[in-house]
Structure formats: structure tokens, C-alpha cells
């Protein structure tokens, strides 16, 4: 058996790591017994392979190497004074006279936020700003949503058991699902606004061997879409040119480093405006 894990991740909420010394001392509850079984399985591991190559930061300058080491030390809570000094060199002070962040190269740079709600607002405003700066027209694409048969009245009592997925949804329900905040739809948006040249971040490991990984950066080159209801359109394939890898990717029929990201169908639980929940199937890039 081969399995993967991350030793630098936090333990589960209100739980302990399987290799915690207190695991297995008590077995009064079912949870404690499950933990003890997990620890027993952990002790049967005979070989560990540590993966050290960083697949997201692979540039080769001295500063890039330094940043990679700092990130590794930070994950294990082992930062040195030298690491802290290096991080301070990357801080733009509010009193800075050169106003470095006004440089054009930072105008459309990625932004890391603490809350998904902040991320969504920045993305919404950033899409409009980028299209305006580049004199491009934003194209709007909607997801293709399906709900369980009989669930269109989402305020009614739901019947348990397997249901047939249907796309014939009331317009009011469809519009409500499309306009939910991303945080209320498992971070899979109902509406995407894009234009050619727009910088994007890949949010899933599609093909790690080609650098199409979670956190990978690129720019929109083109797309394939199709009409759906009421004159709206849905994305089938989005073509992205990768920009943050040192490995050239060549796919037949596409320019170098251009990769397709296809729409996928996933089941998600949506939190509705009345605080009720509805499970839907959403197809989106």
C-alpha cells in the first residue's frame, strides 16, 4: 500500500496526530478506539519517501533558492533569524517613498488573502479592472446545474434516498444558485467572467507532470463554449498558457505551454439564502 501525507499540516480539528504519544492510552470511546487502530496501522509503515522538490517555485536565481528554503523552514516552524531578515526585505512599508506597489508589474499580481470572501471581492473587481486596462471585453459564462428530482422547491422537506438529476429547474432557483457567493457553493462559482490575456490561478491538480497543478499560474488564451438557456453560455474548455514553470509543455495542436482545462461535474452542497442546504451537481471549469 502506498499513501501520501504532509507532516507539516495541522492535526485534524479537535483531534490529535496518529503518532501522538497519548494516542492509544485510552479506549473508552469509539473515537479513541479508531485512533488506536490508526496508530497501529501507522506503526506498520516500513519505508518513507520524503519529496523535497518544490513543484510550484522552480525558478533558479539565488533569491528563488532562498525563498524556497524560507518557505520550507516556515512550514516546520524552524525559521532562523536570517530567514526573518530575508522576509523583512520583501515588505513594502506604508511610508515607502518609491511607492513600489504602483509599478505596472504588480498591477495584476496574485494576492493572498485570509478570507475567501475577500478573495472573491478582489477577483470580481480585478476582472473588471484587467479588462478595462487591456481594453478587452469580459465574457460571462454560467455553470450548468442539476438538482435532485423534487428538490426544486428547496424550502420543502427533502425526501431521503437516491434521486435522478434533472436540469429542468425553475428560473428563480437557477438564478439564485448562480448568484450564490462562492463560499456558499463549495468555492465552485456559478458565474465566471474572463477575457483573453487575463491572469488566472489553477485550483486543482490536473496533470502534475506537466505543471498543471493547484496553485499554478497562467493566462487565458482562448476557450470553447456553448449556448445554454436564455441566451447564456457555458464553458466546455479553457485554454491557458502556463507562466510559472521551467518545464516546456507541448500538446499536439496547441502552442508551447498552452494546456486545456476542461469543465467537470461535481456534487456540491450549497448554503441557500434562508440558511437551508441543497445538494446540486454543477458543471464548471
With CA atoms as reference, report the closest residue to 151 among 127, 173, 118.
173
Q: How confident is the model at residue 140 (pLDDT cuts 50, 70, 90)?
A: very high
Question: Do residues 181 and 270 touch, judged by C-beta distance below 8 A?
Answer: no
Domain ranges of the chain: 1-51, 138-284
Residue 154 has pLDDT above 90, yes or no: no
What angle is formed at CA 221 by the lines to CA 220 and CA 224, rounded to 5 degrees?
95
Q: Which pLDDT does position 222 carry in this prediction?
A: 97
Report the pLDDT value the prediction gives residue 153, as an integer from 0 to 100: 63
User: For residue range 258-281, what is the model confidence (pLDDT) as tens digits?
Assistant: 999 999 999 999 999 999 999 999
pLDDT digits (tens, 9 = 90+) for 164-182: 888 888 899 999 999 999 9
CA 178, 182, 186, 187 dihedral sign is positive
Round to whole Å and give the CA distance between 76 and 184.
32
What is the pLDDT averaged over residues 148-175? 75
For 54-59, what is the mean pLDDT? 68
pLDDT digits (tens, 9 = 90+) for 119-131: 999 999 999 999 9
**pLDDT, mean of residues 196-213:** 88
Q: How high is the pLDDT of residue 157?
A: 60
pLDDT at 8 over 60: yes
pLDDT at 70: 93
pLDDT band, residue 3 (cuts 50/70/90): confident
Instruction: Compute the mean pLDDT over every residue in the chain, rounded to the nearest whole number.
Output: 87
Per-residue pLDDT, averaged over 184-194, amounts to 95
Predicted confidence at residue 28, as pLDDT, reads 83
pLDDT at 156 over 60: no
* CB-based contacts of 156, cutoff 8 Å, min separation 6: none
Radius of gyration of the chain (CA): 23
pLDDT in the model for residue 193: 97
The larger pLDDT score, comparing residue 40 to residue 283, is at: 283
Instruction: Count the alpha carbons within 13 Å of 233 in the hemisphere toward its beta carbon.
Output: 14
Amino acid at each position: 500500500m502506498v499513501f501520501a501525507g504532509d507532516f507539516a499540516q495541522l492535526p485534524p480539528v479537535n483531534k490529535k496526530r496518529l503518532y501522538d504519544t497519548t494516542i492509544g492510552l485510552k479506549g473508552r470511546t469509539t473515537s479513541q478506539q479508531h485512533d488506536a487502530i490508526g496508530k497501529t496501522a501507522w506503526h506498520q509503515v516500513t519505508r518513507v519517501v520524503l519529496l523535497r522538490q518544490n513543484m510550484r517555485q522552480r525558478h533558479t536565481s539565488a533569491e528563488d533558492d532562498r525563498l524556497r528554503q524560507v518557505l520550507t523552514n516556515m512550514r516546520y516552524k524552524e525559521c532562523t533569524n536570517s530567514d526573518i531578515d530575508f522576509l523583512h526585505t520583501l515588505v513594502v512599508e506604508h511610508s515607502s517613498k518609491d511607492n513600489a506597489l504602483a509599478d505596472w508589474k504588480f498591477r495584476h499580481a496574485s494576492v493572498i488573502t485570509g478570507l475567501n470572501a475577500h478573495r472573491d471581492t478582489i477577483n470580481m473587481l480585478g476582472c473588471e479592472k484587467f479588462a478595462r486596462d487591456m481594453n478587452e471585453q469580459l465574457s460571462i459564462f454560467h455553470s450548468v446545474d442539476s438538482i435532485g428530482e423534487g428538490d426544486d422547491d428547496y424550502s420543502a422537506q427533502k425526501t431521503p434516498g437516491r434521486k435522478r438529476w434533472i436540469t429542468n429547474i425553475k428560473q428563480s432557483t437557477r438564478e439564485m444558485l448562480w448568484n450564490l457567493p462562492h463560499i456558499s457553493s463549495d468555492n465552485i462559482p456559478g458565474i465566471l467572467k474572463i477575457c483573453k490575456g487575463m491572469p488566472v490561478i489553477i485550483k486543482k491538480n490536473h496533470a502534475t507532470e506537466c505543471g498543471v497543478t493547484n496553485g499554478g499560474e497562467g493566462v487565458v488564451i482562448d476557450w470553447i463554449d456553448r449556448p445554454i438557456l436564455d441566451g447564456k453560455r457555458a464553458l466546455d474548455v479553457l485554454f491557458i498558457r502556463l507562466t510559472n514553470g521551467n518545464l516546456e509543455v507541448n500538446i499536439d495542436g496547441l502552442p508551447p505551454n498552452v494546456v486545456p482545462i476542461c469543465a467537470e461535474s461535481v456534487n456540491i452542497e450549497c448554503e441557500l439564502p434562508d440558511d437551508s442546504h441543497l445538494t446540486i451537481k454543477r458543471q464548471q471549469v
